[in-house]
């Protein structure tokens, strides 16, 4: 099955309808990811036939839970889930943050080549990042455990904002280690077309941010 057909079928299963421009941008992103991955090891996934399922669809599976106008993708790496979300939501302002300069160079190139005007890239450590405004959503995929994610990025979440942490197995131990002022609002089991392992999304917010 071609990557385009995989994407088409996957979007149908996820119930996500995207215009042709967005679909083309997603496929162009997949091609760039595979090309750069040969040199820069952007992801651990080496099989190009799995790029659509394990990167594009996996990222887009959390789209229904992105509530807000600004998103910070922490430890963005090769751009997941930030770039697919930015493509699907042109109204969403997305900052891709990573401390690896080779990875941020790739992310910058993607934003330029795909014409993603709603994407900005920042190279640096999340705990040292001091933007002018906080974010309504902070996303992370395979970045750190939940407690560390919260500790490092708490200063970047706006009042009533949410963390969206993408995990494999349901992270019961990690949730138990969260500080008392962090609320787990929901844990969603994600069914990602073409991905056999378990995928979960942990939605968290801070009691402190609400007062």
pLDDT tens digits for range 30-62: 999 988 887 777 776 667 788 899 999 999 999
Q: Is 126 annotated as a binding residue?
A: yes
pLDDT of residue 29: 96
Annotated domain spans of the chain:
3-210
Mean pLDDT of 185-199: 95
Q: What are phi and psi of 180, to 5 degrees?
A: -65, -25
Q: Is 75 annotated as a binding residue?
A: yes
Answer CATH for 3-210 from 3.40.50.150, 3.30.2350.10, 3.40.50.300, 3.30.70.1070: 3.40.50.150
Q: Is 80 annotated as a binding residue?
A: yes
pLDDT tens digits for range 66-101: 999 999 999 999 999 999 999 999 999 999 999 999
pLDDT of residue 67: 94
pLDDT of residue 37: 81
């Amino acid at each position: 099955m071609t990557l385009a057909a995989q994407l088409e079928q996957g979007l149908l299963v996820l119930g996500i309808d995207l215009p042709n421009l967005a679909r083309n941008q997603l496929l162009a992103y997949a091609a760039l990811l595979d090309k750069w991955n040969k040199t820069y090891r952007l992801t651990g996934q080496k099989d190009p036939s799995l790029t659509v399922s394990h990167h594009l669809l996996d990222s887009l599976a959390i789209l229904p839970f992105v509530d807000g106008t600004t998103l910070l993708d922490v430890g963005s790496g090769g751009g997941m889930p930030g770039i697919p979300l930015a493509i699907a939501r042109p109204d969403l302002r997305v900052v891709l943050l990573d401390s690896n300069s080779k990875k941020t160079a790739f992310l910058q190139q993607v934003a330029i080549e795909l014409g993603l005007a709603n994407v900005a890239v920042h190279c640096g450590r999340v705990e040292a990042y001091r933007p002018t405004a906080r974010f309504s959503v902070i996303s992370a995929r395979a970045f750190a455990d939940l407690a560390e994610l919260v500790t490092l990025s708490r200063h970047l979440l706006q009042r009533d904002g949410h963390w969206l942490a993408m995990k494999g197995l349901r992270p019961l131990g990690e949730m138990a280690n969260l500080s008392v002022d962090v609320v787990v609002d929901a844990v969603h089991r994600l069914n990602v077309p073409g991905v056999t392992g378990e995928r979960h999304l942990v939605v968290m917010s801070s009691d402190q941010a609400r007062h």
